[in-house]
Amino acid sequence: MSRPLDTSLPRLATGCRWSGEGESRMLLFPEGALRVRDTGHAILQRCDGQHTFQQIVEQLQALYQADAAKIREDVAGFLDRLQQKRVVDF
Amino acid sequence: MLPAPLALIAEITHRCPLHCVYCSNPLQLTAAASELSTEDWIRVVQQAGKLGVLHLHLSGGEPLARIDLTELVSAAHAAGLYTNLITSGIGLSPSRLDCLVKAGLDHIQLSFQGSRENDADDIAGTRAHALKTELAPLIRKSGVAFTLNFVVHRKNLDHLEEIISFAESLQPDRLEIANVQYYGWGLRNRDALLPTRQQVEDSMRVIAAAEQKLAGRMRIDAVPPDYYARFPKPCMGGWGQRLMLIDPSGQALPCHAAGVIPGLQFDSVREHPLQWIWRESPAFQKFRGETWMPEPCRSCDRRGEDFGGCRCQAFLLTGDATATDPVCSLAPAHQLVDAELLRVNSSTGSTPASLDAPRDQLRESPSKSPDWWSYRPHPG
């Protein structure tokens, strides 16, 4: 487990890229693809290497009316899982 | 409705400077003169994009043997396909790599025959190891996703720790450790390649430790030898379900080995659009779904997960392509596999009983989420 730090800059991993538009928007990576919707999409579209983990969490806390600590935990867990699969880096 | 294939495997040539003893190509290769033209391939990748295919795997033979490779990558990129080059590296100069990356290549999968130069060159039948080692840093720097593929078997499985350390030194994003599959040349040479039970068990421990150590840095995908599994592999994600392969002459096949099954007629992209072949070609419909299944598959709870295993392996081992894959512990013909395991393990005194579903431990099973797709563009 390697959770992102507040100052981490989450970004799509090498060779991972977006494809398609709207409902059919997907992340493509070696030998796999991920259809991202709703919160997953909201997180990943901010993973551009420009926003810090802290900024991403704050933006999502403003976007969703859920418990702030839970949002932070969910985003960290989501990014950690995708990093294990080499879909994001931070 | 039938979903589009996730990936198209384009075997653009059978020409290859290597002659690996476990090559997955058919024993009867397509001659260079019968290969599809550049225009044919460009039409095929454009049709693939329209059909909704996500990934294109440029394979062979050695795809770099085609001088129009950059042109094909360009066309695939323009058609919206995620493009992977499966290569031995022979023929990949720095300038050619640069052209391919500029054309939109997304991923390179570089194959190694081992971590030791002499042994690896023996397997490949040519001096290729040193060149591959020199290429790795160039690929790493090129900005494309980088996978290393090591084919393992009885002769090199004891060096797995060394192989993983060697791979780590080349800094790929992903390492694939694939046991030889017993088709084509692999089946011919099975007696020399099938690992012992002890080797397989040891390799599982080595891989589990490496996965833990390298988590987040290098992903490891391991393909265990299905002869030791309790249940068969979900070969190609099910016949005609997820993948489509075009051979050098333009024939469309549901998998690499499908040509061994007698009576199948493969339609050609020279005569039919890809979309028609995917939906209508009799070869793709032959084992699609469950109506062809014999018992015990037909009533098995796992039939939606492993689809009765591999049709080609069933044919190669039993002579009947509709048989349950003999590697399955429930298969009527399972004794054929047990007999092989007994032979290879007799000197070590261990019993040939199936491992406790090694692939369940070794291999990340596809997520149950309908939004997450992963597959292997090879048998296994």
Reported as a single tens digit per residue, the pLDDT across B56-112 is 999 988 999 999 999 999 999 999 999 999 999 999 999 999 999 999 999 999 999
pLDDT higher than threshold 60 for residue B363: no
Per-residue pLDDT, B51: 96
At residue A35, does pLDDT exceed 90?
no
Question: Where residue B254 falls among pLDDT bands split at 50, 70, 90?
Answer: very high
Closest alpha carbon to B107 in B52, B58, B46, B47: B58
User: Which residue of B56, B81, B101, B106 to mutate against A (max A Cβ within 10 Å)?
Assistant: B106
Percent of chain B with pLDDT over 70: 91
pLDDT in tens, B114-157: 888 888 888 888 788 999 999 999 999 999 999 999 999 999 99
Q: In this structure, which amino acid lies at residue B303?
A: R
Question: What pLDDT score was predicted for residue B369?
Answer: 54
- Please check the confidence at residue B362 and state whether its pLDDT lies above 80: no
**Opening angle at CA B65, ends B260 and B185, nearest 5:** 30
Whole-number pLDDT of residue B368: 44
Residue B25: pLDDT above 50?
Answer: yes
pLDDT value, residue B250: 97
Residues 6+ apart with CB under 8 A from B203: B152, B157, B160, B177, B195, B224
**Window from A21-25, B256-260, B325-329, B340-344 with minimum mean pLDDT:** A21-25
pLDDT in tens, B264-288: 999 999 999 999 999 999 999 999 9
- Band of pLDDT at residue A1, cut at 50, 70 and 90: low
B366 has pLDDT over 50: no
Distance CA A70, CA A76 (A): 10
The whole-number pLDDT of residue B118 equals: 85
pLDDT band at A38 (very low <50, low <70, confident <90, very high): confident
Geometric angle at alpha carbon B18, from B12 and B19, rounded to 5°: 105
More confident residue, B29 or B231: B231
Q: What integer is the mean pLDDT of A1-12?
A: 89
Answer whether B59's CB lies under 8 Å from B9's CB.
Answer: yes
Taking contacts as CB-CB distances below 8 angstroms, the residues of chain A near B373 are 32-34
Q: How many residues does chain A have?
A: 90
Across the interface, which of B82, B219, B371 has its CB nearest the CB of A19? B82
Residue B355 has pLDDT above 70, yes or no: no
Mean of the per-residue pLDDT values of chain B: 90
Kindly list the residues from chain A whose CB atom is less than 8 angstroms away from the CB atom of residue B107.
15, 30
Task: Answer whether A36 sits within 8 Å of B371, measured CB to CB.
Answer: yes
* pLDDT confidence bin for B13, thresholds 50/70/90: very high
Q: Does residue B352 surpass a pLDDT of 70?
A: no
- How far B206 CA lies from chain A's nearest CA (Å)? 18
Name every chain B residue with its beta carbon within 8 A of the beta carbon of A5.
none
Predicted local distance difference test score (pLDDT) of residue B313: 96
Judged by CB atoms closer than 8 Å, whether chains meet at B145 and A32 is answered as no
pLDDT at res. B371: 67
Chain B interface mutation, best of A11, A31, A81, highest count of B Cβ atoms under 10 Å: A31
Query: Looking at this protein, which amino acid is placed at residue B281?
Result: S
Amino acid type, A82: L
Which candidate from B6, B173, B377 shows the least CB-CB separation from A15? B173
Q: pLDDT band at residue A43, thresholds of 50, 70 and 90?
A: very high
Q: With 80 as the cut, is the pLDDT of residue B356 above it?
A: no
Q: Which residues of A fall below an 8 Å CB-CB distance to B?
A: 1-2, 13-17, 19-20, 26, 28-37, 83-86
ipTM above 0.90, yes or no: no
Q: Is the pLDDT of residue B166 over 90?
A: yes
* B chain contacts of residue A8, beta-carbon cutoff 8 Å: none
Chain A closest-CA separation from residue B145 CA (Å) = 4
Residue B266 confidence (pLDDT): 97
pLDDT tens digits, one per residue of B184-215: 888 999 999 999 999 999 999 999 999 999 98
B82, B175, B220, B223, best to mutate vs chain A, most A CBs in 10 Å: B82
Interatomic CA distance for residues B361 and B358, integer angstroms? 5
How many A×B Cβ pairs under 8 Å? 71
Predicted pLDDT of residue B367: 41
H-type helices in chain B, by residue range? 38-51, 69-78, 94-102, 117-124, 129-141, 160-169, 184-188, 190-193, 197-214, 274-280, 282-285, 303-306, 311-318, 334-345, 358-362
Say whether the peptide bond before residue B61 is cis (omega within 30 degrees of 0).
yes
